[in-house]
Structure 1
Amino acid sequence: MSYTNILSETQNGICTITINRPKKLNALNIETIDELHNAFSEADEDPLTKVILITGSGEKAFVAGADISEFADFSVSEGSDLAAKGQAKLFDFVANLSTPVIAAVNGFALGGGLELAMAAHFRVASDTAKMGLPEVSLGVIPGYGGTQRLPQLVGKGRAMEMIMTAGMIDANQALQYGLVNHVTEAEELLPFCEKIAGKIMRNSSVAIAAAITAINAGYQDGEDGFEVEIAQFGECFDTEDFKEGTTAFLEKRKADFPGR
């Protein structure tokens, strides 16, 4: 599929999606959100894609926020609709994807950019990255899941402070907070993420998808994460990956998972 604002390339089981609006510091507009949805959908449906990396083009920004010019004149109903559609189409969609998603945060991740990174299953940052939710400085609040995912990741008090002050934290502080899993030098960011992806790909993609479902259930209202875990655990027993994994273990060899 051809895109205007993003690049998507799959190699050796890893799909790298790059937001490519460097003159706008990779800011998210409606068109880019649509393209990202399509790219993530395409990668998730490709049986050869085992891990997805999301990053930004250039050295300055992962995503420096939403494109404010698109919604500066919106009404209440238009604003609510913007948030609802964006969450459904991209942010919640990514969070619940069955293919693991790693955010490679290569620079500024602000507003919608940080919200996109938080929607990924986990994050790795370059030592030049800076992160924040500055929306209250514009008279609005985070609308793409930021008020929910940031407290889950860093705790309520830290999230309150970050959102209320509209300030930025650097990569090392993000690591201390638990907002990112690792910090690397800028030139090592993608190779480091690819190394982690390689470790993920050694395992059962079916089991990983089940684990994502079970983990996410624990953070959803009305869901009993333990019950979902039990159900997903049981369903694994009916997969070819389970049969291969247990057989390989008993035969003392490396498993060759079929992904079914």
Structure 2
Amino acid sequence: MVYQNILSEVKERILYITINREHKLNALNKATLVELADAIAFAGNSEEVSGVLLTGAGEKAFVAGADISEFSDYTIEQGMVLAREGQTNVFDAIESCPKPVVAAVNGFALGGGLELAMACHMRIVSENAKLGLPEVTLGLIPGYGGTQRLTQLVGKGKAIEMIVTADMISAEQAEKIGLVNYVVSQPELIRKAEELLNKIKLRAPLAVASALKAVNASLKDGLNGFDVEIEEFGKCFGTIDFKEGTSAFLEKRKADFTGK
């Protein structure tokens, strides 16, 4: 696929995805969501990718929201399809990606933008970041998993407050309530995300994927997270990386993992 709305580049086993609609504050339109879905699918299936760094172009916004002009006249049925397809193809796909996905958030992350960041496994934000879910000001609620993931990350009371007041919060507030992992200066944003991903690159790739799957299972209805953990733990014993990791530990040397 030739991308028109995002930039995608693999460097040193990190897939850099940049939402490239700076003139629209990187708002999510249908075409951008299709391209994101394609890029995330590539990341999950490619042996050359060990992690994903997702960010937005420019200094003003990560993603300032969804492109409202595309759905302002939708019916009930069309609205449900919009949410279901977006959640399945993009937001849930990011959360379920077997490679760690880190959001590097600069400036505004509002509505669908915050939902996109919350679908990622970790969030690094710049000091100037503003985060919020303003959908109720449009007569809507978050439709890309925002009500669920925000509650999981910050708890029911704070999630309800943010959603029904539509208030934006600062980077400092976001870190305080556990919504983001780190707050850094603007020039340090990408470097901090790279630091995390480069550290993860040194770990056993199949074990990382199993860990992500087990953690996600703790939040899925109908799944027993403990059972998933036991199953994934057992699978690790059948990998070459397990043999390498334990041998390296016993031989007091650095492990050389191959993802097999």
- Look up the SS of the partner of 2:169 in the other structure: strand
Aligned to 1:162: 162
Amino acid at match of 1:204: A
Aligned to 2:112: 112
Aligned to 1:196: 196
- Look up the SS of the partner of 1:102 in the other structure: strand
Task: Report the TM-score, using the length of structure 2 for normalisation.
Answer: 0.99
Aligned to 2:84: 84
Aligned to 2:219: 219
Amino acid at match of 1:194: E
Aligned to 1:63: 63
- Look up the SS of the partner of 1:99 in the other structure: coil
- Look up the SS of the partner of 1:219 in the other structure: coil
How far does residue 23 in structure 1 lie from its aligned partner after superposition?
Answer: 0.9
How far does residue 2 in structure 1 lie from its aligned partner after superposition?
Answer: 2.3
Aligned Cα root-mean-square deviation (Å) = 0.6
How far does residue 45 in structure 1 lie from its aligned partner after superposition?
Answer: 1.6
Q: Could you tell me how far apart the structure 2 residues matched to 1:216 and 1:105 are?
A: 22
Q: Could you tell me how far apart the structure 2 residues matched to 1:190 and 1:10 are?
A: 15
- Aligned positions, number: 260
Aligned to 1:97: 97
Q: Could you tell me how far apart the structure 2 residues matched to 1:2 and 1:201 are?
A: 28
Query: Is 1:18 aligned to residue 35 of structure 2?
Result: no
Aligned to 1:146: 146
How far does residue 237 in structure 1 lie from its aligned partner after superposition?
Answer: 0.3
Q: Could you tell me how far apart the structure 2 residues matched to 1:174 and 1:94 are?
A: 21
Q: Could you tell me how far apart the structure 2 residues matched to 1:2 and 1:107 are?
A: 27
Query: Is 1:233 aligned to residue 243 of structure 2?
Result: no
Q: Could you tell me how far apart the structure 2 residues matched to 1:96 and 1:139 are?
A: 30
Q: Could you tell me how far apart the structure 2 residues matched to 1:221 and 1:10 are?
A: 35
Q: Which moved more, 1:41-50 or 1:116-125?
A: 41-50
Kindly provide the CA deviation profile for residues 26-65 of structure 1, in whole angstroms up to 9, marking residues without a partner as x: 0001110000010111122221211100000000000000
Q: Could you tell me how far apart the structure 2 residues matched to 1:179 and 1:33 are?
A: 23
Aligned to 1:243: 243
- Look up the SS of the partner of 1:223 in the other structure: coil
Task: Report the TM-score, using the length of structure 1 for normalisation.
Answer: 0.99
Amino acid at match of 1:38: D
Provide the identity percentage: 58
Kindly provide the CA deviation profile for residues 211-243 of structure 1, in whole angstroms up to 9, marking residues without a partner as x: 011000010001000010000000000011111
